[in-house]
């Protein structure tokens, strides 16, 4: 079986050109693209599949949700959606840790506090059993302090 892993973003116009080539990428990079889409897409945002995406974005602006609750919802949503939308990996372990990062601007009179999510996904490649690792960091929200 030949796997074709297309580089994202995919440009369909290149298929119509004279050379009709599409950029390819490795299996690991292709999985990483899909994981990043699952992380950053809000449920119901994909008009072709309303279930695709992470449920955590439904509570993005709720102040009553604790960090522990946010992290638990993120992990549960990612595990179920990886099982559904990323069959190239299995035995998935997802971890997320929220930390607060303060940045003071020299030219401004305030500091900005941002929530940063450190995300790690470890799994096995379904086809070969090899270990697969993915990690990323996202800034979730800016908050200013005078």
Residue 104 maps to a domain: yes
List of residues 6+ apart from 45 with CB closer than 8 A:
52, 53
Closest CA to 121 of 80, 75, 88, 81: 75
Give the chain's domain count: 1
3-state secondary structure at position 32: helix
Q: Answer yes or no: pTM beyond 0.85.
A: no
Looking at residue 31, its pLDDT comes to: 95
Residue 93 maps to a domain: yes
Looking at residue 145, its pLDDT comes to: 45
Residue 80 maps to a domain: yes
Looking at residue 85, its pLDDT comes to: 95
CATH number for the domain harbouring residue 135: 3.10.450.40
Residue 3 maps to a domain: no
Concatenating the DSSP letter of every residue in 57-99 gives GGGTT-TTS-HHHHHHHHHHHHHHHHHHH-TTEEEEEEEEEEE
Looking at residue 105, its pLDDT comes to: 77
Full residue range of the structural domain in which residue 54 is found:
13-145
92 beta partners: none
Looking at residue 2, its pLDDT comes to: 47
Q: What's the pLDDT tens digit per position in 67-102?
A: 899 899 999 999 999 999 999 999 999 999 999 888
pLDDT-flagged residues of the chain (< 50): 1-2, 143-146
> Is 97 within 8 Å of 117 (Cβ atoms)?
yes
Residue 50 maps to a domain: yes
Residue 27 maps to a domain: yes
Distances (CA, A) of 83 to 51, 78, 124, 126, 142: 13, 8, 12, 12, 32
Looking at residue 146, its pLDDT comes to: 42
> Is 81 within 8 Å of 23 (Cβ atoms)?
no
Residue 8 maps to a domain: no
Looking at residue 3, its pLDDT comes to: 57
């Amino acid at each position: 079986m030949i796997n074709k892993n297309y580089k994202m973003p995919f440009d369909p116009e290149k298929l119509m050109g004279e050379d009709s080539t599409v950029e390819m990428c490795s299996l690991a990079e292709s999985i990483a693209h899909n994981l990043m889409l699952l992380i950053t897409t809000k449920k119901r945002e994909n008009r072709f599949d309303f279930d695709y995406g992470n449920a955590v974005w439904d509570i993005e602006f709720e102040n009553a949700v604790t960090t522990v609750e946010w992290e638990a919802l993120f992990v549960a949503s990612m595990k179920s959606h990886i099982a559904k939308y990323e069959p190239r990996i299995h035995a998935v372990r997802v971890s997320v840790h929220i930390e607060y990062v303060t940045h003071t601007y020299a030219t401004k009179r305030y500091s900005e506090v941002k929530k940063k999510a450190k995300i790690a996904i470890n799994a096995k490649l379904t086809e070969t059993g090899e270990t697969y690792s993915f990690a990323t960091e996202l800034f979730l929200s800016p908050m200013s302090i005078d």
